[in-house]
Each structure stands twice: as C-alpha cells, then as structure tokens.
Structure 1
C-alpha cells in the first residue's frame, strides 16, 4: 500500500505567549491556511492591517519575534497495515519542533529544504493531534550570531545566521516582514517495502557513429526500504519517448541507475533559437509485479556549457546551448511577493510572459530569495526562458560552522536534485556579491579570520553540482572574475555588476565599460500611479511624503533619483512631472546601457537588468511593479531587447550606427540616415545598404555631415532600417529647444478597449499614455513613443472603452517630455 493524506484543512494558529502579543488572538487561536504564513493568517482574521499599505509594516515587527504554533488533527485507522507512516514536510519556515500527540517527532532549521519524520511511535488510529511549533526567527538567528560571532553584511539584520529567505529581513527594495509558517504542502505518507527517495535524471545529447544525435537519460535513484523490505528484490523502470530501461535491485541495495537512449530526439532551445519540445519521463519502483512508487517529470534534450576561456580581451562568459553561443537578454528575479504562498502558477505565468513579451530569454533567480516552486521552472521549460539559479547567499559574510554548514549542504543537495529535470535551468551560481564584498566592502578587518562563505562557493557547492548533476555548469559568484588573483568585479573578466551608475555617477558612464557579461545593473523609478494610490490611500502624493519615503527603501534613494534626473531634465515642477520624468529617466538609463552592451557583441555576451519584478509596491529598479503593472522601463526593454536592434552610438568624435541581429537569419536592408531640425526638416542625409549575418552585429559609420550638428539644441539624427527607428539627440533634454507639444488625437472605442491615435504637429518626445490614472485596470500597449511632425501612432488601451475621452488626451494621462520640461519652465524651475 501507499497512501498520502494531504493535511490542508482545520489548522489553528496560536501565539505561544498570547499575553505578550499586541493583538487579541487568544488561547484558542485563529483559523489558519496551510500552505501559508502567520502574516496572511493574521490578515485573514482582521487582526493586523495590510503591511503593504501606508506605513503599516512598522507596526508588525513583533511577528518575527513571536513563537507560533500550527495545530491540526487527523485519523489514521486506515494506515494500520502500513510498515512506515511518515510526515512529509515540503517547507517549514523556519525553526520548528514537530509533535504528534504531544510526543516530539522532528525538528526543522531550514526554510529551503524538506523534511520527513517517522510518525509510527506516536501514531493512534484516530484523533491524532499534529502540532508544529515555530521559534522566533529573530531569536534563533541572533542567538546563533552571538555564538558564532558577528559577521558583516549589507543590512543590520541577522539574515545570514538562519537558512531562511534573506529578503524577509528587508532589502533596499523590500519591507522587513519576517515570516513563520508551513509554506509548502505537508502530508502523511504511509508506505510498504520501499519508496523512491531520490530521482535524478541526467539528460545529455551525444553524436552517434553515423553522425545522428542520440539522447541519453541516465536516471540515478536512491530508494528507502522498510525493515521488512530489506529482503525484497526491487525493479526500477524508466520510460521516455517509448524507450524503456529497467534494472533489478537485489535485497538490501538502495542505490542504482538506469540509462535510456532516444534516437534523434528533438532538441530543446532557448526562445528565439528554436523550439522547446519536452518529453515525459516516468520512473517506477516495483516488487513482485506490484508498483510501489512512481515519479514523473518532463525533460528536454539539450547541451549547455559556460565558456569562460581566456582571450586577448580577458575572460569570456558565454552561455552555449546545443553548441550555439546565446546572447543573453535577461532580468534578475526576486520573490514576487513577501508572502510566497500567494504566488501560484497563474502569477508565475503572468510574470514570465511579461518577461517574454519584453523579448527576454533569461531570468536569474537572485540569491537572497528562494528556490522557486516547480511551476516556475515548468513554465520556463515550456516557454524557452533560460534560468540562472543562484544558491541562496547574498550580500553577507556567511558562517561555515555548525549547524549552518550541515544545513547548507543538505539544502544544496536537495535543490540540485529537485531542479535537475528542468532543461531551462542552465547555470548554478554560488552567491550574489559575497566574493566582491570580501574584497571591497571592508569585511576583512571585522571578520578577523573568521569564515565568510568562501568554502561554500569554491569547494562545497561545485562538488555537489559535479557529483549530482554534472550536465550543468557552476560558477562561484556574481560577480566573479574566474581567478582569485583578479578582482572579482573586473569588467574584462567574466561577469560584472555595475553599481557606480545609480549610486555615484551618471548613467552615461555605462559607455565607459567594456564588459564581457553584465549580470546586474539598474536604475530606479517609482511604480505606476495606480499602484502608489492603492498603497497610500488618502495620502498626498509627493516625492517626500511620509508614505512615499516609506516605500523607498534604498539609502538616499530619492536623492539619487534627483541627482540622476538633474543632468538630463533638471528639476521636476510638481509630483506629476517628477513621476513621469523619473520613469522616463529610468528607461533612458537602461536603454543607453543595453544598447552599448549589445553594440559590443560578441565581446559582451549578455546583460541581466536589475530587476524584472517587485514583491510589494515600492520605488525600485523593477520593470514590473509590485501590483504587476508595467513601468515605462518595461516598454524600453521590449525595444532594446528586440531581435533586431538599430542604435546610434558615439564613436570618437563621430557617430556610428550599430545593427545587431539576434536571429538565425541574415538581415539585409538599407539604412536611411538623416540629420534633422526639430521640425523634421532634413538637413543632411545618406542611404547605406547593409548586411548583418545571423547572430551578428555590424557597425556603419555616419558621414560627418550627418553626425555633426550645426546647433545641438535644435537638431537630431534618425536612422530607419526596418527595425525600430533609432534616434540620436545631440543635447540633453534640458538643453533641447523643445517646441510646445502640438498634436491631434482621435479616440475610438474598440470592444472593451480604447484606440487612441495621436498625430504629431510638432516633435513629440517619449509620448506616453498612463491609462491607470483613470482606471487602475486600464493599460496602454505602448509607451515612450517619439514622433516627428506629421507622424501618427495608435495606442490601444486594454479595458479602456469606458474612459472619458477628454481626460485620456490631456496631462497627466497623456504625457511628453516636451510638456514636462515646458511646465517646469513655466513654474520657474530651471530645466
């Protein structure tokens, strides 16, 4: 027999010291949802306010310092014949003791791994009470910090002393909401003879003697036997694509492997490089003709390598899939909600599809979050989105002593096993910024020789990956140069983070870099207006209002926004202009950076912008805000990550047109280049035929009469190539003699949507329609559109048919840089 009883119902949450908490939870407790967490249960019971609204977060710090318990009951009369009855805990957050009928059956110390506890000694036929007691995460982490000695980190929180989602303790984009709870499914598992304890498929592709491809699936299996099952002969069977392999495990044997080959399998490719065929792999364990256990996943046939060879320019960092170097167009991923059980398949699909619609092909799961749920990787498999997976270490010196060392090893082993089937996962990365931190962040003196995680990144983790899943590459860190003798954030060696831009210098400094691969860089902007309005109900929206400042977690974040805005736009006249211009400035910064990086292909092989998403409503680096709304940056990424890109770049004293072709087909066309007055008049022009090879880039110098302005404030360059038009403005916006924005607008309902056609009578720079200002559910399909006089563009506003046409066509809904800078001048603010 094999029976699983899902424990989802009739849970009760209690505070272990109810008299010491500031809410009336009482000794009888409140109903709890499992999977879930204390915060969401308290919200459901109306005992705490939504921590995402206003400054409510500051009132809830006591939750992470409280001991909690979850209790339920179940019957087990039908399990009397089982040789083993276990409690399967897929995720306990974090430090817990588990009791059955008052007897201790197990403990947990790690949010990032699962646990299995034997229930038989305490099990009754009926009326079993299961109780999971959670210690205070703060109490545990602070006590361990005291025992092992403090170590430096980026924030004054003890997150590196507990194996828990680090960003629970707050980050420069996230609130401090330290959770406890049963965050993944929990169940009773009754079984006989043996079960599949671990299944690891190693999928490879080889070339057969006749030149054809041969897919190989080596399935490595560990089984667990009951005492009675020690003498049983077991049969392991693996089936894929109609091919079957089987082996016999003699009595007492618990480890084996079976290989299945598939002739000429269809290869799995990243999106933009080919299709994503997936094959069902089923593994079964049997004895005496009866099936004891089974395991099933979808796998894909592909090879992946990380080319980090040394050349004359430094050290490469190229992801190679099926022998083809991939231009990475990616974004960093953080947990999509502080309360992770609120993120399911639909929300994963929405975010991943937003990444795909922005022409991305890779998501990097950042090391201060979690290993995501299976649905995330399954969706990436289906859609061809590559996954770079950090091990969970970020921005801190991590102790390598017990008990953390044992937890780290168990967690890493389980993660590599669990994620082995997914072809989208192409890289394991040891940590986020910790090697860099040891070099540059004044860690060495306070560490005084104590461990800081180096042994994890350079020894333990690569050994685990090589042992369990050698089909995937491992890299020690982001950033990391590939050598202990070279600075870990040297742009010419492997992967680099660029954070002097945003923190210290203007974003035009991106052009000073010649990186091989950029795995983090970013620039901030506030979220959508409707997101702010929902998060700050009733509050006056100003950049420096109490609520706005609370939803800005970066150190001196608003100061950096202002300093980043000033060289380009001057000072904003009011909140509406500030909101619009900071969003435009974010989009401009990242566009400039990525265009520069793409112009260096194949020397620079990719960029991963910080960041795709947010976990709550906040001013941050995200392209998609905490309520799932797309900021102008998202539209800029869609343009700059397009398969075919034309960009005008500075080149010495002149200009060059760079044509980047990330497709498998040659791109041949004619470039029409013109220097124009702001009214569109052509002052100089040329036409140049070009051919860009597949997966290539070419540079076309602009003739001097096109590249050199007569009056920088009054002129621009356009480049029409068949890709999105490229523009070059000779002056910063604040110095451009923008005309008053003049245009005609036609507003037409189209079913539930609204079509808004704007015809320019003057130059319109970065025309943007903020439909959410009128209806939080409305959204335009495009932003940041620049039009020359006489040109038209039609926006489709999804769900906008009911909007007031007059309000749609006026600021602050319909905006251009022209009107924002002119309103600043009219208000007496220097532009």
Structure 2
C-alpha cells in the first residue's frame, strides 16, 4: 500500500541514526601490551590498571609509542550507566575490532570476536540492571603473519600488499564501541536486498534475526520512504531466543537509482519496527536504492541500460583506517567521478560504512573485494564463509555495490617490499608464462569456490567471481577478470593489442594495469638522500617505500636522469604513457570484447612509491591528467601505441569512441601527420556517430622517409563535442 509521505513522516528514522543510537564508549581507555600472565586477568574487576597507558578509542594501538610493535593489547574502560527498566534490555556493540578479541564485562566473559570489519553484539542486560559503574575489558590480538603464503588473518591488503607498508600492524578498536538499549525484542542483522526493480515495481527481500526474551506474537512494521511511503504490516510468532525471519515488500512506481553517468540517485529509507504489546521494542533503518545490475560476459547493464565500466582501484584511504573520515571517502570518490570514472574497485579490503553511503549518494558503482589477498591457510575456510555472510548483511543494501570478488590473486606470493614475485617475468604474455598461475591450488580451487558459493547463497542479486586476476587455465581454459601489466611487468604496451586478437577472453575486463611512479614527496626524497643523486639510498627506497627498482630502472634508468626531480618526472611520464595507451586500447575494444577496466591505483594511503596516480596528500602525478583525458566521454584514438615505427609506410587505424547517450553529428574530424623527410599530410572526415559506440573512421597510410620523430594530431568538432588527441613516435 502507498500513502502520502506527510501521513507518517514523523515515524521515519534517519539511516545514519541506526548506528549512532545508544551510548558511545569512545574516548580515553586504559591499555597495556598483552603478556601471557595478564591475559587471564584483564577482566578482573579488582585489577589495578592505574599505571596502564591511556589510549584513544577508536584508534590503532600502534599509534601509541609503547604498543608500536605489539601483536596484542589489553583494553579496559570504566563507565557508568543508569538502572534498566525490567522490560528493557541492553547490548554491547563492537563495530570494528582488528583482528580477534575476547570480551569481558564486569568480570564475566561475554565471548570472542573475529573479523576486522564484522560488527559484533553481546547482551549485557543482567549486568546493567542496576545503576552504577561498569568495567569493559577486551583482549585484542592481530598477529603478524609468520608465513605470508598461508595467512590466518582475513585482513586483505592491511597486512599483505605492495602498496602499503605490510610491517604496520592494523590492530585495534578502529570503529565505535557503544551500549544500546531495546525492548524485549531486538532486531539484529537486518538484511535488505533489491530482487527486482523497474519503472513499475520494485521487490525487496528483507531478513532479520529477532532476539526475543519471551515467547510472544510480535507486530513487524516496514516503512519504505522516499517521495512517497510504502507500508507493510505483519504479525510473527516468536520463540524465546533467536528467530530468523524473511519477508518481501513490493514498492509500486519506484524511482530508480542510476550511476551518475546515466541518471539520478534517489535513495529510500527502509525502516523496520518491532512492537511488543503495542509498544516499540526496537527499530532499524537501512538506506537503499532500487536498481538492477547484470553482468553478461563482463558487459554490464544497469536497469537494462548497457554501460562501459571505466574505473579505478581504491585501497585504504589511509594506513590507519580509524582516522579516515566521511569527508575523506567523499573526496576520493569525487576525484574518481571528476576523472570520468563510473566504477571503483574497493581493492583488497572492506572499508568503513561511510564509503558505501557516499558512493550511493554520488552514483559511483563499487566492485567489492573480500579481504582475501594472495595465499591463505587451509584453516580459514569456515571463518571466511562466516565473514562473507556478514559482509552481505552489513553492505548488501547499498545500490552502489554491484559485484563481489572472493579473493584477489590467490597465489602464494611472499616477497620483500619493492619486489614482486613475477617482476622478473618480462615475456610478451607474462600471465601465461607463470607456472604459479596455471597449476591447481587449494586457495584457488577450494577456498575461493567456497567463499563464492557463500556470497551467492546469501546474495542472489549480484554477480560473484571466485577470484580476481586468474588467467585462463586448464581444464576449462576460463578465467575471471584480468591483471595485465603491459609496459610495466611484462611486454610492451602495444602487446595488449596482439593479446586482444589472439585471446580476446583476456580483455573482457581488465581490473589491474598501470606502472609505478615516484611522487614529488619531500619525506621520500630526504630519506633516500636525493641530494647525493645518483648515489641514492636505494635500499631505503625499496624496503621502506616499496619502489620496484628493477622495473623502474628498466623503463626510466636512474643514471639517464640529470637529478632527483628529473628522475621523478621521467617515472611519472612513463606511468602516464602506460595508463593513457592502455585505456585508449581498451576503449576502442568496447563491448567487443571489453566490458571495462579498473586502473591501478587511485591514491596512496601513506608516503609510498606505488602505482597510484595521486599521492597520499592527493597531489596528482602526471598520470592523473592522462587518466582524466583518456576517460572523457568522447575520445579520438589512433593506433599508435608503440614507441617506434620503421621508415617507410605505416598503416594506422583511427577510431572515435563515444560514451554519450545521444547521437553526435554532424561532426568533422581533422588529422595532421608530420614526419621527418616527408611532406605534411592532412585528412578530413565528416559524419555522424551513434550513441555509446566505437566507430572506425579511417585507416591511414603514414609516410616517414627519415629517422627522427613524427607526430600525429587529431581534432573532432561538432555540436557540443570537441575532442583532441596527439601522438609522438620515434622513426627508426
């Protein structure tokens, strides 16, 4: 049923209040490094903690000097609560503890936690029934992996990455801890999934765990509101304890949510209220949007509208997740949007809920990695399945999230900072020459498929891939998305075109490509003794800042540069060329076979030498402009992606790529070619271009009679359209 919004607008609760209700325990706590003799006494009420160190919660323990090298920390916090009405219940909510925890309350053991992003809750009704002071104690551990090829923590890039210092421990209470109050029935794990959505109707599947203190019949009210309200009422018989329920609600004539390139982003509040004997017992709110998403052979469509996915990888905004604010997430997503990118791959981690809320508002699509990164131990399978289920419960309502990936590169990599396991493989088609990527493994065959099935079971509304970066392999010769580092780790940039013609499956979706480049960063320059150039402290550059020196030297030789600033510039220019040409090639292959791409990486989380196009202060490298230019809605591309050409004639195809939803035309394309020893050549073409298309305009014969440098410039002009491009190539 639909009613005017004014009828019950006062009953709608903001989606932001859902996590902010209750009494926050954030602030100054007591802590000390965990030692074996103390672990069993951390919850003792009479334990003297007067000499313990003060620590800020939320926060990471490594930010306190005494704990910078700790693998475990004991937390204690005293606070007061008023007495509790006999019909009320209280709960301790821990939103984010990295990575494992054991929890005591007033000396009694409550239980354990595992999973850095998983929200946990414990009942504390009996202990808080009377007014007074209470003690919360937590033993938190986040062990450094002993064997990085068989990790036991599911922390993704937070503990194993070539874009972060993996020696920094991410342990701590990085999100809020609070006390919540409900009636006899608590709504736990509210799950909201949009099963269908079109202009006529949206079907929403809701699920929840109702924790009831009594056997009773409860009234469950659902309100779904945007410009109008849909109301649904039902009665449910509940047993004492935890009750799993599921129901469906239809919304007539919904406003559809779109990525920003295709439309608006209307968001609906889904409010679920439980009443006991006519009084509100608990209420939960999720904010969602109505849309459908399909991925067929890696070609995406949103609400039935096909879209070529132009994206980037987003790692943690900072190497301290507890310090990242909502505005930080919005800043990075806005930067991606301003660069013309529709998609952000949340690389190797699950972020704070603020990221997903901001993506919903901005119309950015999210490709979500589960935090399995490289090799993991066999013992984690059941925990990975449980955490995948929790990820859907916590994030499944976000319309921006369109794809799950269970595991990033499920290979047994264990290498020092600045060294890639495959960096020495510079064959033309690197992934196929690597034995590690072809033979079966427990991670790829067993773990990843189990996690994939878990996602599919609890979330039938989104596509799921078992792993990212796995090339075609026996026996099925099928792969997933591709990580293709042409021009950096293997081959030349132009080899990407050859791969497209020989194995087009590899270019269906390229989710990693790029190259490292040095940032113009004073901290890095000073640490590497840049004033002594070229005799740098290269071990510092590699070990502390992650520079892959063998690859940097291969493409931008240090001793060919005049000084440190010149070397920084050369590495940035190389990165810009790799990104620009890779994007241009992939866009000319739009839908045939390429469905999109994600450049690696958007921004650094700390001072580092990485593939990011923005440093940790969000200062752009040269590649930022190249990425932005290559992702404009309309581009003109010439088939000049190699670094050299031979004297004589060269055939060169020219394409116009349009992501616009409207026709272009009439428009005129002007092409100019200047080469040593040859007369300038000019071609002019006029015509119309279809929406969302790739059009081959011409196949030119370029003449170059002498050694030197030649240039090609292209300009497309039409009503509302102006696209330019240029190339320089060495004639040998």
- Interval of TM-score (by shorter of Structure 1 and Structure 2): 0.7 to 0.9
Separation of aligned partners in 1, 2:62 and 2:93 = 23
Partner of 1:63: 70
Residue 15 of structure 1 contacts residue 68 of structure 1 at CA under 8 Å; is this kept in 2? yes
Give the drift of 1:110.
2.3
- Specify the SS of the correspondent of 1:638: helix
Selected match of 2:590 from 601, 623, 639: 601
Residue 259 of structure 2 contacts residue 342 of structure 2 at CA under 8 Å; is this kept in 1? yes
Q: For the structure 1 residues 234 and 258, does the alpha-carbon distance in structure 2 shift closer, same or farther, using more than 3 Å as the test?
A: same
Residue 429 of structure 1 contacts residue 476 of structure 1 at CA under 8 Å; is this kept in 2? yes
Partner of 1:613: 603
Give the drift of 1:343.
0.8
1:119 matches 2:127: no
Separation of aligned partners in 2, 1:511 and 1:440 = 18
Partner of 1:389: 368
Once the two structures are superposed, the pairs formed by residues 669-708 of structure 1 within 5 Å of their partners are 669-676=667-674, 683-704=680-701, 707-708=702-703
Separation of aligned partners in 2, 1:294 and 1:482 = 48
Structure 1: tracts of 5 or more residues without a match: 21-25, 49-59, 143-149, 309-316, 736-831
Deviating more after overlay: 546-555 vs 467-476:
546-555
Q: For the structure 1 residues 7 and 544, does the alpha-carbon distance in structure 2 shift closer, same or farther, using more than 3 Å as the test?
A: farther
Selected match of 2:339 from 328, 337, 358: 358
Separation of aligned partners in 2, 1:703 and 1:87 = 70
Separation of aligned partners in 2, 1:419 and 1:629 = 31
Selected match of 1:296 from 266, 285, 289: 285
- Specify the SS of the correspondent of 2:270: strand
Deviating more after overlay: 330-339 vs 287-296:
287-296
Partner of 1:817: none
Aligned residue-pair number: 662
Q: For the structure 1 residues 82 and 126, does the alpha-carbon distance in structure 2 shift closer, same or farther, using more than 3 Å as the test?
A: farther
Q: Deviations over 1:512-532 (max 9, x none)?
A: 331222111111101134564
Selected match of 1:224 from 192, 206, 211: 211
Residue 219 of structure 1 contacts residue 238 of structure 1 at CA under 8 Å; is this kept in 2? no
Separation of aligned partners in 2, 1:126 and 1:188 = 14
Residue 562 of structure 1 contacts residue 571 of structure 1 at CA under 8 Å; is this kept in 2? no
Residue 185 of structure 2 contacts residue 212 of structure 2 at CA under 8 Å; is this kept in 1? yes
1:622 matches 2:612: yes
Residue 486 of structure 2 contacts residue 513 of structure 2 at CA under 8 Å; is this kept in 1? no
Q: For the structure 1 residues 539 and 193, does the alpha-carbon distance in structure 2 shift closer, same or farther, using more than 3 Å as the test?
A: same
Q: Deviations over 1:126-168 (max 9, x none)?
A: 2212111223513xx54xxxxxxx6x73xxxx6x212334433
Partner of 2:7: none
1:129 matches 2:135: yes
Selected match of 1:419 from 395, 406, 414: 395
Separation of aligned partners in 1, 2:388 and 2:221 = 26
Selected match of 2:107 from 102, 110, 116: 102
Separation of aligned partners in 2, 1:481 and 1:503 = 16
Q: For the structure 1 residues 451 and 482, does the alpha-carbon distance in structure 2 shift closer, same or farther, using more than 3 Å as the test?
A: closer
Q: For the structure 1 residues 607 and 529, does the alpha-carbon distance in structure 2 shift closer, same or farther, using more than 3 Å as the test?
A: same
Q: Deviations over 1:12-60 (max 9, x none)?
A: 222235999xxxxx97122211111112233xxxx69xxxxxxxxxxx5
Residue 501 of structure 1 contacts residue 510 of structure 1 at CA under 8 Å; is this kept in 2? no
Residue 18 of structure 1 contacts residue 27 of structure 1 at CA under 8 Å; is this kept in 2? no
Selected match of 1:233 from 197, 201, 218: 218
Selected match of 1:399 from 377, 386, 410: 377
Separation of aligned partners in 2, 1:482 and 1:198 = 38
Relative to the length of structure 2, the TM-score reads 0.83
Once the two structures are superposed, the pairs formed by residues 753-792 of structure 1 within 5 Å of their partners are none
Separation of aligned partners in 2, 1:328 and 1:548 = 39
Q: For the structure 1 residues 18 and 162, does the alpha-carbon distance in structure 2 shift closer, same or farther, using more than 3 Å as the test?
A: closer
Partner of 2:61: 38
Partner of 2:15: none
Give the drift of 1:469.
2.1
Separation of aligned partners in 2, 1:601 and 1:31 = 56
Give the drift of 1:688.
0.5
Give the drift of 1:684.
1.7
Q: For the structure 1 residues 162 and 544, does the alpha-carbon distance in structure 2 shift closer, same or farther, using more than 3 Å as the test?
A: farther
Residue 92 of structure 2 contacts residue 123 of structure 2 at CA under 8 Å; is this kept in 1? yes
Once the two structures are superposed, the pairs formed by residues 89-238 of structure 1 within 5 Å of their partners are 89-120=94-125, 123=128, 125-135=131-141, 137-138=143-144, 142=146, 153=149, 160-169=151-160, 171=162, 173-206=164-197, 213-226=200-213, 229-238=214-223
Relative to the length of structure 1, the TM-score reads 0.74
Q: For the structure 1 residues 730 and 163, does the alpha-carbon distance in structure 2 shift closer, same or farther, using more than 3 Å as the test?
A: closer
- Specify the SS of the correspondent of 2:331: helix
Residue 583 of structure 1 contacts residue 631 of structure 1 at CA under 8 Å; is this kept in 2? yes
Q: For the structure 1 residues 469 and 109, does the alpha-carbon distance in structure 2 shift closer, same or farther, using more than 3 Å as the test?
A: closer
Give the drift of 1:297.
2.6
Selected match of 1:428 from 387, 401, 404: 404
Separation of aligned partners in 2, 1:354 and 1:500 = 25
Give the drift of 1:642.
0.7
Separation of aligned partners in 1, 2:621 and 2:532 = 18
Partner of 1:8: 26
Deviating more after overlay: 631-640 vs 194-203:
194-203
- Specify the SS of the correspondent of 1:105: strand
Separation of aligned partners in 1, 2:550 and 2:441 = 36
Give the drift of 1:330.
0.6
- Specify the SS of the correspondent of 2:569: helix
Q: For the structure 1 residues 432 and 307, does the alpha-carbon distance in structure 2 shift closer, same or farther, using more than 3 Å as the test?
A: same
Give the drift of 1:702.
4.2
Residue 194 of structure 2 contacts residue 202 of structure 2 at CA under 8 Å; is this kept in 1? yes
1:347 matches 2:339: no
